[in-house]
Structure 1
Amino acid sequence: MQKIVTFLAVIMVAFTAFLMWPQKDQSEGIGDEEAPDRKETASTDTKPDEPVEPEPFELALIHTNDTHTVMDNISRRASLIEEIRRANPHHLLLSAGDVTSWEIGRKAQDSLANAVFMNHLGYDGMVLGNHEFDLGEGVVDHGPLSTYIKHAAYPILGANVDFSQDQFLEPYADYSYTDEPVDGRINKGYVQTVGDEQIGIFGITHYKEVVTVPGDVSFSDYTEAAKQAVAHFESIGIDKIVALTHIGIGHDRTLAKEVPGIDVIIGGHSHVTTAPPNQIGDTLVVQTGEYDTYLGELNVVFDEAGKIVNHSGKLHPTKNAEIHPHTARVQELFDEATALGIVNYEDFIRHIIEAGELDTYEAFIE
């Protein structure tokens, strides 16, 4: 009996010692590297997500107007265009019309040459100017103009022009707003996607009998045409709208006042420069002068609602630019023509055609 009592006493002492021995925290040493900081986790779990501010959209609009077949600057214009494109990931190259010359008698070769070189430079669109419709001095129809349109690798615009009675132009006229650019067609306007944004672009032109004879082509009120264009783009959710116009600076300013919703008017016909850009309400109006003297650059910043919140404009003198290596042959041909006593641009184009080099130019590569 005494042995049993002694054994039980030993067991009790051992058990008491076990209970009093310091115990290890069982949370330590098991997945130490994965165990979250409870304090940090608690603060992260209770913090609401912060709203992400939308990025502004920056767009460079490179533009020309009333170049009138001036060709000796083509290689220099090419360098300026490439420079602006490299500096601005989002860009468009647009013409506000009168690309052809005053010399009506050479319209056929003039029209073809302008299409080829504008393809080479990579234009994104143009509006027809009043001199594109010139007739007279042996040109009795719009066959030369149809040649220009057929060869253009960019959309041609004329929202207020009716081509239905002209056998040469009607086949190229769609009378519509397209959801993407269509090369070599006449449209009222189109949607150009730049980056992740969509830009609505439309074109209107003006007719004055004293400077051009349009033949079977007729023109409607430009203000109403512009209102219809803006309404169309807004109806499909486009909040960035550019008008290419060939109506003159005074009419451009009127258009900016009377037609809300146009963000930028790139104009022509007046042969004037805008430096800095004219601002009428929420609309910017720009022109580059005449005869390829300047290349226009308008940089705009749109907010998430499609409103321009910042802008800057430049006019780059083309004569000061470097000759682009891809277009250097044009300058060489011009120097050859000058040495032969060829002093006008229309004869210079004939010189290029006779040299068999006009069709060697492909689209300008960015």
Structure 2
Amino acid sequence: MFIFITSIVFFMPIPNGSADTPGDSITILFTHDMHDNLLPFEVEREQGKMTVGGYARLSSAIQEQRSKDPDAIVVDAGDFSMGTLFQTVFTSHGPSLTMLGQMGYDATTFGNHEFDFRADGLAESLLAAKDSGVRLPGIVMSNMEFPKDEDGKIAADVQALKEAVDAYGVKDYIVLERKGVKIGIFGLMGEEAAGNAPMSGVTFRDAVENAKSTVAALKEKEGVDLVIALSHSGTATDPSKSEDERLAKSVSGIDVIISGHSHTTLMEPIIVGDTVIVSAGEYGENLGILNISQDSKANWAVNQYQLRKIDESLPADPVIAVTIEDYKQTIQEEYLNRFGMEFDEVLAVSSFDFTPFTELGVEQREEPIGNLIGDAFIHTIRELEGSAYEPIAAAVVPYGNIRDSFSKGPITVADVFKVYSLGVGSDGSSGYPLLDIYLTGKELKTVAEVDASITPIMNEVQLYIAGLSYTFNTNRFLFNKVTDIQLQSFDGTKEEIDDEKLYRVVGGLYSVQMLPYVNEKSFGILSVVPKNEDGSPVTDFEDRIIYMNEQQEVKEWYAIANYFKSFEKMDDVAKVPAYYEHAKDRKIVEHDANILAVLTKPNGIILTAYAVLLTFVGLLALLIAVLLKKRKRKLGKVSV
């Protein structure tokens, strides 16, 4: 879940805070949802494009604030990893944690993306960070459990994580003391976030109930004066989905909630009772600064709140800058060399901006970036297979897997990876691999209907499908929205779909594995069964992975990077074709409320529904007729 609340950042001065009595103010510096953005990045704001973020500048901002208040604490609310090329050495070097340690963070918690490499991947990362020898932040996570099977045993990978957690020293909470104030800090994983880590191997207790017992322990056992929750749960404009507001309402005794997961930028704190909820936005674009002190009732009140923009006004911390460069070299040697690509290599230049990431998925519509990614999958597989290439009918690209967008100007390997960075392959290395499956023509049509019907319910499942052209009307009945669909080649040529024929379809490991869940999400009305060439159901999706050679999987990001390199060159630099500046009638969305537009062209599903409805109406009419007939007879007898 991603929520973006934008406004003009305002700044307030932070007091120096040098006294040493319990009544003095406490400064909390905070971040969340950093997603391995160690380097500065470009964003589009009202004042135009600007370069923000980067750990070298962030470190300077932290030092700047600690020069004003040496007792300030620095915390992070999770999802510190996954999102850039730095994640490729997550298991071998644990760069996220080591960098937080070097910048002086006191504590962090796990977000759902820390489990992207599953339990054993996180275990390796924790141990790698511990072995680095640098000062590390404390990790707090109070509602994580290691489940046992029927025989009372823990799975091997989960056991490895449990041992790594113990070795690192992950705790339910930690207690710090600043200016004579005892501060309890605990971590939580929210319900929605936990649901986004389905392969973690661990389970998470109810956040509210767990928080109640943890706060009680901090207050009664540890005698803390201030309770801070690092909550990877998030806030939302819809109160029913705003988990951290619900947490504050349900649990007394939490003084401050650092709210992560929803990527929210709160220009002012949310105050729920005696609890202060704050969020600083994503990717380290801002350093959150909260200064609080106790009022006459011993409740913690906000003195000042600031989001310090991490921009060019800040110098780069030279030590952090050198460490980042060292990591870049490690990534080159351990990961990128196998793909024949370089970290900052310019793949192509674009003369236009693609839709900004903050606008992607807001509407049901075709997106050029979705077209480009799908075309890249098809192109790279065709190139690899050469004369043995078997035509691909469609490439599936879920909106939820796109993590950034492309801007006008040079596009590098690092840029491409950031756009499509999710997952890990069966080879244990970063990035989901491409695979192929087969679907019948009828199932291809079903995939389009899934996009049309389920997207309004679950926006993250919106699809961009290269190889198809389909039209749907948002005002039609659920699961009957698609009114026209055909195969469409790159040049726009269209071909009718044979319902019984098997068609080759490609996508990433995660995307294709999710197709069978169509059954569940459509309440059993729709069905998609991925198949092998012979029509038999796929039982192990990893058997369908496509390889560059005997060992190297074709990663999704690599296919995109490879496609950029294939574009026609001008002055020895590939140029992104103007073809991708606009939509290509691959997904045509109509909003026609005319009764004919709504009811004509019913599919088999709706015809069945109509038949059931007509049967019901017929039976109802028959029942009414029988009752009227009986009534007439009764009235006739009375009149006689």
TM-score under structure 1 length normalisation: 0.69
Is 1:60–1:92's contact at 8 Å kept on the other side of the alignment? Answer: yes
Query: 1:56 aligned to 2:23?
Result: yes
- 1:103–1:312 CA distance, 2 compared to 1 (3 A): same
| CA distance in 2 between partners of 1:119 and 1:335 (Å) | 18
Partner of 1:76: 57
Give matches, 1:131-280, under 5 Å. 131-135=113-117, 141-147=121-127, 150=130, 153-163=136-146, 165=154, 166-173=158-165, 184-206=168-190, 208=193, 211-236=196-221, 237-249=223-235, 250-280=242-272
Q: 3-state SS of the aligned residue for 1:344?
A: helix
- 1:241–1:148 CA distance, 2 compared to 1 (3 A): farther
How far the C-alpha of 1:144 sits from its partner, in A, is 3.5
| CA distance in 2 between partners of 1:339 and 1:108 (Å) | 19
| CA distance in 1 between partners of 2:120 and 2:33 (Å) | 23
Whichever residue aligns with residue 224 of structure 2, its letter is I
Partner of 2:502: none
CA offset digits 1:122-148 (Å, max 9, x no partner): 110011101111147xx9754444336
Give the paired residue count.
286
Whichever residue aligns with residue 29 of structure 2, its letter is I
How far the C-alpha of 1:253 sits from its partner, in A, is 0.6
Is 2:75–2:105's contact at 8 Å kept on the other side of the alignment? Answer: yes
Is 2:61–2:310's contact at 8 Å kept on the other side of the alignment? Answer: yes
Whichever residue aligns with residue 203 of structure 2, its letter is S
CA offset digits 1:80-120 (Å, max 9, x no partner): 00011111132100010001114798263586111221111
Is 2:344–2:414's contact at 8 Å kept on the other side of the alignment? Answer: no
- 1:99–1:131 CA distance, 2 compared to 1 (3 A): same
Query: 1:85 aligned to 2:66?
Result: yes
- 1:245–1:346 CA distance, 2 compared to 1 (3 A): farther
Higher relative contact order (CA 8 A, sep 6+): 1
- 1:162–1:150 CA distance, 2 compared to 1 (3 A): farther
Query: 1:318 aligned to 2:301?
Result: no
Unaligned 5+ segments in structure 1 are 1-53, 175-182, 351-366
- 1:117–1:209 CA distance, 2 compared to 1 (3 A): closer
- Name the larger-Rg structure: 1
Is 1:101–1:131's contact at 8 Å kept on the other side of the alignment? Answer: yes
- 1:327–1:173 CA distance, 2 compared to 1 (3 A): closer
How far the C-alpha of 1:194 sits from its partner, in A, is 1.2
| CA distance in 2 between partners of 1:110 and 1:345 (Å) | 22
Partner of 2:559: none
Whichever residue aligns with residue 193 of structure 1, its letter is E
- 1:232–1:305 CA distance, 2 compared to 1 (3 A): farther
Q: Select between 232-241 and 80-89 the one with higher mean Cα deviation.
A: 232-241
CA offset digits 1:268-308 (Å, max 9, x no partner): 00011111111111111011111111111111112476421
Q: 3-state SS of the aligned residue for 1:309?
A: strand
Q: Which of 34, 59, 62 is matched with 1:67 structurally?
A: 34
- 1:156–1:163 CA distance, 2 compared to 1 (3 A): farther
| CA distance in 1 between partners of 2:184 and 2:174 (Å) | 6
How far the C-alpha of 1:344 sits from its partner, in A, is 2.2
Partner of 2:513: none
Whichever residue aligns with residue 307 of structure 1, its letter is N
Query: 1:344 aligned to 2:344?
Result: no
Identity of aligned residues (%): 29
CA offset digits 1:32-80 (Å, max 9, x no partner): xxxxxxxxxxxxxxxxxxxxxx762211100010000001111100110
Whichever residue aligns with residue 229 of structure 1, its letter is T
Give matches, 1:9-158, under 5 Å. 56-72=23-39, 73-102=54-83, 106=88, 108=90, 112-135=94-117, 141-147=121-127, 150=130, 153-158=136-141
| CA distance in 2 between partners of 1:262 and 1:209 (Å) | 21
Is 2:91–2:121's contact at 8 Å kept on the other side of the alignment? Answer: no
Is 1:292–1:318's contact at 8 Å kept on the other side of the alignment? Answer: yes
Is 1:153–1:184's contact at 8 Å kept on the other side of the alignment? Answer: no
Whichever residue aligns with residue 317 of structure 1, its letter is K
How far the C-alpha of 1:309 sits from its partner, in A, is 3.4
Q: 3-state SS of the aligned residue for 1:187?
A: coil
CA offset digits 1:147-194 (Å, max 9, x no partner): 3663572211111101363122211446xxxxxxxx931111111111
Q: 3-state SS of the aligned residue for 1:285?
A: strand
TM-score under structure 2 length normalisation: 0.41
| CA distance in 2 between partners of 1:297 and 1:283 (Å) | 16
| CA distance in 1 between partners of 2:188 and 2:144 (Å) | 8
| CA distance in 1 between partners of 2:301 and 2:29 (Å) | 19
- 1:270–1:310 CA distance, 2 compared to 1 (3 A): closer
Whichever residue aligns with residue 126 of structure 1, its letter is T
